[in-house]
Amino acid sequence: MKYILFSALCLSGCMSNQPQQFKETPECMNYRGMMTAPMPPDAIDRLKQACDISRK
């Protein structure tokens, strides 16, 4: 019983209505999806730069 109560308290703390610290844009989702792909470093840098620009 104690474990169930503890789990419920932990989950409710994680699910509070906190504002997101970053804006998830299509460019950022693309960058995150391609981070582990075998690509040249300059291509990854361009994706990261596009993500950073899209957040502003």
Residues 38-52: pLDDT tens digits?
Answer: 999 999 999 999 999
Q: Which pTM value belongs to this model?
A: 0.57
Q: Give the residue among 32, 33, 23 at the shortest CA–CA distance from 54.
A: 23
Name the amino acid, one letter, at 19.
Answer: P
The domain locations on the chain are: 21-56
CA–CA distance, 32 with 44 (Å, rounded to integer): 10
Name the amino acid, one letter, at 44.
Answer: I
What is the DSSP code (8-state) at residue 50? H
Residues 7-26: pLDDT tens digits?
Answer: 655 555 555 565 556 568 99
